[in-house]
């Protein structure tokens, strides 16, 4: 059985190094601004769609790269994905918080090609289920 889980708009957002943040629904941004402030995108997926007792054999994170400004890959490198646990609220302090769970578990993008980008998220989703978390969250 295959289950598709869309991100939770109310927990998806952008958090800036200057303390600003916004809940953005299905639009997430990462990189820096023209004033050199950093931005991190956060996405959350509700795990209740997975039937109780089911074994997660594979999980894929799919995000669509829709816009690239400047040369972020030349100046900052690849877009990496961290497994995070920020719970039921995304807030401004999330930018600087240490997330000791599965750091840089995948490389999402290495170039400016506008397309769907996918990574294997099996291990993080399995870990979230084993830890009885209700969401699987990434930045």
Task: Please list, residue by residue across 19-52, b when 16 or more beta carbons sit within 10 angstroms of its beta carbon and e when fewer do.
Answer: eebeebeeebbbbbeeeeeebbbbbbbebeebee
Query: From CA 84, how far away is CA 134, in angstroms rounded?
Result: 13
Q: What is the mean pLDDT of each run of 10 residues along the chain (139 residues)?
A: 92 90 82 85 94 94 92 91 90 80 90 96 95 93
pLDDT number for residue 19: 86
Q: How far apart are CA 111 and CA 35, in angstroms?
A: 23
**pTM score, two decimals?**
0.90
pLDDT, residue 100, reads 62
77: which DSSP letter? -
């Amino acid at each position: 059985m295959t289950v598709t889980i869309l991100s939770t708009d109310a927990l998806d957002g952008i958090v800036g190094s200057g303390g600003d943040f916004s809940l953005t629904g299905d639009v997430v941004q990462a990189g820096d601004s023209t004033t050199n402030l950093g931005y991190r995108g956060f996405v959350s997926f509700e795990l209740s769609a997975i039937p109780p007792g089911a074994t997660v054999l594979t999980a894929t994170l799919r995000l669509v790269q829709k816009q690239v400004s400047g040369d972020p890959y030349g100046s900052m490198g690849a877009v990496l994905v961290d497994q995070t646990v920020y719970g039921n609220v995304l807030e401004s302090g999330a930018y600087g918080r240490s997330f000791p769970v599965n750091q840089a578990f995948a490389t999402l993008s290495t170039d400016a090609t506008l397309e769907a980008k996918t990574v294997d998220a099996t291990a993080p989703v399995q870990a979230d289920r084993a830890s009885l978390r209700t969401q699987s969250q990434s930045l």
